[in-house]
Amino acid sequence: MLRKIILFGISSLILLSGWPLAANVSTSPYGINVHLPGNDVLQKVKDAGIKWIRIDINWFAVEQTVGNFNYTEIDRVVAFADANDLSILAVLAYTPGWANNNKGINYPPDNEFYWKYFVQETVRRYKNSIKYWCIWNEPNLDDFFAEGKDAFVEKIFIPAGDGIRGTDPTAFIVGPGLSHLTSQGREWYFWMTYILTLAGEYIDVVSHHIYKSEGVSRIYDVLEQGDNLIPAVKDVVKDTGHEFKPFWITETGWHTNQVSETEQGDRYLSMLQKRKEKDYPKKIFFYEIKDDPAPGIEPWGILRSDLTAKPAYSVYKDFIAGKYDGSGNGGDEEEENKQCFARYDPDGDGRKKAHMLSTLRGFRDYLKRVFPAGDKLVDIYYGKSGEFLELSLSDSRVHRLGQELLYTMARAVGNNPGNYLNRPPDVESTQKINRLITLLKEKKMSPSFERVLFWAEKQLKMVEKIPLNRYLSRELKREIETLTGKKDR
């Protein structure tokens, strides 16, 4: 009975979540790589309206001697982010000499217990401020990881994944964060297939790093179409069964020895416009905020080393502010609620996803057209979806469970909502809804959202008592009036 309605009303609030508040978690797609910069640099990030920063938490720097942790600089960056509404994607990587007999930071530890313990300590320390974690950086690049993909999965990825999940079950893991290499032994497509196949259950967000000197069109060619015998990134993600997970580019950009500063700005604009047009990737982190003043380091920054702005900084800031054809919205791509079904599509294309979205739109319209309380139910759904988005963004369990329920609902509705509404309840889905409600009740909610949630929980207990069509036609209108305290005049 109301299992079905809660699939529409509570679990299908996921429709508005896009992809996934103790921690600051923004829905903005705009990010930048910053490492561990000074507060003056972080202020420049904030001034530009960029909502996401990708930071480095290097094991070799934090735990220089076994058991002695120094988080001073990370504490400072996290405190600034907390105070200024910046969301953090944190990279955990690189081995101290004491843990691998001084082989180098790009070798795994001799005993992965020490690595896992560092991960646990770090996630525990920042679990109220950081919800998104990367495990290592570009492990298919020799300078960052000197052993093969099997060693990476066994000695690095799985121990860290277990450490993150065990310490903060609400956290999101972003990966594998590979460099788009095609050289022998480091082929990104072999590494990505291997990691997603053997350890994909740990990954909540699929990420990739891609740089192309030819420009933005070339980036999208290799993402979506492939290159000769090399598959497209989208195809590898799909073939391994992860196409419905959000996809982020966590490094891309152009340095200004490679192109002029003006051309760098033009390419940033082109990338931002293309990303917005396709709604793919879901988030983008440019590399990087500021030029490294050290000799021999290419100037990737959108700020010079003295913090003066290159044209790309102004382009990024103005794009976020909406100065390019209404491109922005305060840094957040929050569409009108009535467009929520279109916003759900993770990749913006694909017949399977398009069919799912069309099915759910049809079910929404059917409810509004056929049942007296349909409009009220849909209004409740839209009214609470924004708060649900915030809750799901900060808890990967809510995100994953809601996603499962959404797919279950889309499959069950099919093209015949009348039959769907007459079916007996699905026990497995009912159990998942109960679990979702339990998770949401752990959260700090507004009084109005809390009322809706407890109302839904009460309705769920009635699931076995009467047919859904009867409930929609008779009881639901009265129940909603009781919930909202409003009656039709």
| CATH number, domain with residue 298 | 3.20.20.80
* Calpha distance 407→392 (Å, rounded): 16
Q: Residue 407: what pLDDT?
A: 78
The answer as to whether 20 is a domain residue is no
Average pLDDT over residues 395-408: 85
CB 183 within 8 A of CB 144: no
Summarised one tens digit per residue, pLDDT across range 255-301 is: 999 999 999 999 999 999 999 999 999 999 999 999 999 999 999 99
DSSP β-ladder status, 283-286 and 247-252: parallel
CB burial of 143-157 (b: ≥16 within 10 Å; e: otherwise) equals ebbebebeebbebbb
pLDDT band, very low/low/confident/very high, at 331 (cuts 50, 70, 90): very low
Average pLDDT over residues 93-102: 98
pLDDT band, very low/low/confident/very high, at 393 (cuts 50, 70, 90): confident
CB 263 within 8 A of CB 254: yes
- Range with the poorest average pLDDT among 24-28, 152-156, 218-222: 24-28
Q: Is residue 157 domain-shared with residue 257, that is, in the same domain?
A: yes
CB 7 within 8 A of CB 429: yes
For residue 378, the surrounding DSSP H or E stretch is helix 374-393
Most confident of 216-230, 259-273, 428-442: 259-273
The amino acid that residue 31 corresponds to is: G
Number of H helices, E strands in the chain: 21, 8
Q: Residue 278: what pLDDT?
A: 94
* Calpha distance 443→390 (Å, rounded): 10
Summarised one tens digit per residue, pLDDT across range 190-201 is: 999 999 999 999
Q: Is residue 127 domain-shared with residue 60, that is, in the same domain?
A: yes
pLDDT band, very low/low/confident/very high, at 334 (cuts 50, 70, 90): very low
Q: Is residue 186 domain-shared with residue 284, that is, in the same domain?
A: yes
CB 245 within 8 A of CB 18: no
- Which of 320, 355, 376 is the endpoint of a domain? 320
The answer as to whether 335 is a domain residue is no
Average pLDDT over residues 379-398: 83
pLDDT band, very low/low/confident/very high, at 189 (cuts 50, 70, 90): very high
Q: What is the share, in percent, of the chain residues with pLDDT greater than 70?
A: 82
CB 432 within 8 A of CB 471: no
Q: Residue 303: what pLDDT?
A: 98
pLDDT band, very low/low/confident/very high, at 2 (cuts 50, 70, 90): very low
Q: Is residue 298 domain-shared with residue 400, that is, in the same domain?
A: no
Inform me whether the pLDDT recorded for 418 exceeds 60: yes
Most confident of 269-283, 400-414, 421-435: 269-283
The answer as to whether 442 is a domain residue is yes
Average pLDDT over residues 17-25: 51
Q: Residue 466: what pLDDT?
A: 62
Look up residue 337 and give its DSSP letter. Answer: G
Q: Residue 205: what pLDDT?
A: 97
CB burial of 218-256 (b: ≥16 within 10 Å; e: otherwise) equals ebbebbeebeeeebbbbebbbebebbbbbbbbbbbbbbb
CB 91 within 8 A of CB 136: yes
CB 307 within 8 A of CB 301: no
- Residue of 430 and 106 predicted with greater confidence: 106
Q: Is residue 77 domain-shared with residue 157, that is, in the same domain?
A: yes
Query: Which pair of tokens denotes residue 130?
Result: 């950081």
Q: Is residue 262 domain-shared with residue 117, that is, in the same domain?
A: yes
pLDDT band, very low/low/confident/very high, at 378 (cuts 50, 70, 90): confident
pTM for this predicted structure? 0.85
SS3 call for 167: helix
Summarised one tens digit per residue, pLDDT across range 308-329 is: 999 999 999 999 999 997 665 5
Q: Is residue 175 domain-shared with residue 286, that is, in the same domain?
A: yes
The answer as to whether 89 is a domain residue is yes
Domain that holds residue 173: 28-320
Inform me whether the pLDDT recorded for 119 exceeds 70: yes
Q: Residue 42: what pLDDT?
A: 98
- Cis peptide preceding 159, ω within 30 of 0: no
Q: Is residue 147 domain-shared with residue 247, that is, in the same domain?
A: yes
Query: Which pair of tokens denotes residue 458?
Result: 């009460």
Q: What is the share, in percent, of the chain residues with pLDDT greater than 90?
A: 61
Summarised one tens digit per residue, pLDDT across range 37-69 is: 999 999 999 999 999 999 999 999 999 999 999
Q: Residue 478: what pLDDT?
A: 67
- Residue of 459 and 233 predicted with greater confidence: 233
Query: Which pair of tokens denotes residue 167?
Result: 């310490």
Query: Which pair of tokens denotes residue 85?
Result: 């509404």
Q: Is residue 63 domain-shared with residue 8, that is, in the same domain?
A: no
* Calpha distance 145→95 (Å, rounded): 10
Q: Residue 24: what pLDDT?
A: 76
Inform me whether the pLDDT recorded for 347 exceeds 90: no
The answer as to whether 333 is a domain residue is no
Summarised one tens digit per residue, pLDDT across range 234-246 is: 999 999 999 989 9
The answer as to whether 327 is a domain residue is no
Q: Residue 353: what pLDDT?
A: 66
Query: Which pair of tokens denotes residue 415?
Result: 């093209």
Inform me whether the pLDDT recorded for 458 exceeds 90: no
The answer as to whether 369 is a domain residue is yes
CB 208 within 8 A of CB 252: no
Q: Whats the size of the chain, residue-wise?
A: 489
Q: Is residue 250 domain-shared with residue 387, that is, in the same domain?
A: no
Q: Is residue 77 domain-shared with residue 206, that is, in the same domain?
A: yes
The answer as to whether 178 is a domain residue is yes
- Residue of 126 and 445 predicted with greater confidence: 126
User: Environment class of residue 15 by beta-carbon count within 10 Å: exposed (0-12), middle (13-18) or buried (19+)?
Assistant: buried
* Calpha distance 261→83 (Å, rounded): 32
CB 288 within 8 A of CB 300: yes
Q: Is residue 82 domain-shared with residue 213, that is, in the same domain?
A: yes
Closest among 363, 441, 340 to 398, alpha carbons compared: 441
Q: Residue 34: what pLDDT?
A: 98
Inform me whether the pLDDT recorded for 158 exceeds 50: yes
The domain total for the chain is: 2
Q: What is the mean pLDDT of the chain?
A: 85
Average pLDDT over residues 22-45: 93
For residue 243, the surrounding DSSP H or E stretch is none
CB 437 within 8 A of CB 460: yes
